[in-house]
Amino acid sequence: MLEIAPARELQTVLEERVGQDAALAPVADLIRAIADTAMEVAEVVALGRLAGESDAAVGDLNPDGDVQKNLDVLANDLFVNALRQAPVAVALSEELKEPLLLDPAAPLAVAVDPLDGSSNINANVSLGSIFSVLPVLPGATDAKAHFLQPGRNQLAAGFAIYGPQCSLVLAFPDKTSIFTLDRRKGAFRETVATAQIPRQSHEYAINTSNYRHWGPSIRTFVDDCVKGTEGPLGCDHNMRWIASLVAEAYRILSRGGVFLYPGDLRQGYSSGRLRLIYEANPVAFITEQAGGNATDGVRRILDTVPSDIHVRTPLVFGSANVVHLITRYHTDPQFSAEHSPLFGRRGLMRH
């Protein structure tokens, strides 16, 4: 029998945090509730078809127009029930049209994607749950107002990933840590105290089936990656695409890389498809605390003020140098989308 590697439990880490800053006590209580719920969801996901037809559609569309699966609804119910027991004033979910009022006296607003990647439920691809923790806004005129603040105001963010290992990625304003579920102990244990995304990488993730719909800047960047050592970037690249945001994010946290989900010319995709408040903002927060960057292609995600609770955004995140390079493809005339001869074998980036 394998020995369990010594590692602090999540509970211990949270207690230390509160010991350093008592104002974090409500956040710690919330994260404990989220971690317990993630363990419940992990058990259902691990059962696959043994738990029933979890990928079967329930006949409804969520507020974003996606078909709800049985497991989407179950995960949403589990998280909502957990948030009712935590110090949460108002909750927002991908599966709910409007924010849910909970405890008016509580200090936190929580946005959650209860089951990211549900289209992959029975493909045995990693799924996840994403959450964002915001302070409530004193004097807010309605429940939505608490979520219409920039992502840089997040007190904490994270995601659980249900894969070969069940892990909880947790970011506070000073660092991102990774906890792995020890099923024998029924607890998350810290396995990466301080995650650091390498600043440079030669790996990118994008759905190239949409190539014909992209704008010229994204096309040019991907074309230059494909050219490898013969192109202006001067090196070979690997492409990945899992179609699971949490799986892509976990890989980038582990070894670097960049993820791109741009807006494109398809109907309904001009502003991207990922939701700003409960997908892009928490992933951007996690990424920045691990030394990476996250933009909409040009602007920092965490500076964006949401116009609506379910608003969408393009998203580029990962290794800081690569994200900065992609911004230059959008903004720097030197990176012309016309494939100038200057972008030939000599390459503008090789000096």
Per the residue annotation, which of 29, 94, 224, 264 is the catalytic one? 94
Per the residue annotation, which of 14, 74, 102, 113 is the catalytic one? 113
Per the residue annotation, which of 66, 103, 190, 223 is the catalytic one? 66
Give the Cα separation of 335 and 325 in Å (integer). 10
Report strand pairing: 293-295 vs 258-261. Answer: unpaired
Decide if 3 is catalytic: no
Decide if 190 is catalytic: no
Decide if 36 is catalytic: no
Per the residue annotation, which of 115, 127, 170, 274 is the catalytic one? 115
Decide if 279 is catalytic: yes
Decide if 15 is catalytic: no
Exposure on the CB side of residue 203, measured as CA atoms within 13 A? 16
Per the residue annotation, which of 10, 29, 71, 72 is the catalytic one? 72
Decide if 115 is catalytic: yes
Residue spans of beta strands (DSSP E) within 249-341: 258-261, 274-275, 293-295, 312-313, 315-318
Give the Cα separation of 306 and 135 in Å (integer). 15
CA distances from 78 to 13, 36, 42, 125, 227 (A): 24, 10, 12, 21, 47
Per the residue annotation, which of 203, 224, 248, 279 is the catalytic one? 279
| CB-count exposure of residue 275 (10 Å: 0-12, 13-18, 19+) | buried
Token match 């509580």: residue?
106
Per the residue annotation, which of 29, 95, 248, 288 is the catalytic one? 95
Decide if 113 is catalytic: yes
Decide if 40 is catalytic: no
Per the residue annotation, which of 116, 264, 288, 296 is the catalytic one? 116
Give the Cα separation of 284 and 110 in Å (integer). 16
Q: What angle, rounded to 10 degrees, do the helices at 10-20 and 25-47 form?
A: 160
Question: Distance between alpha carbon 71 and the CA centroid of its chain, in Å?
Answer: 19
- Residues labelled catalytic: 66, 72, 94-95, 113, 115-116, 279
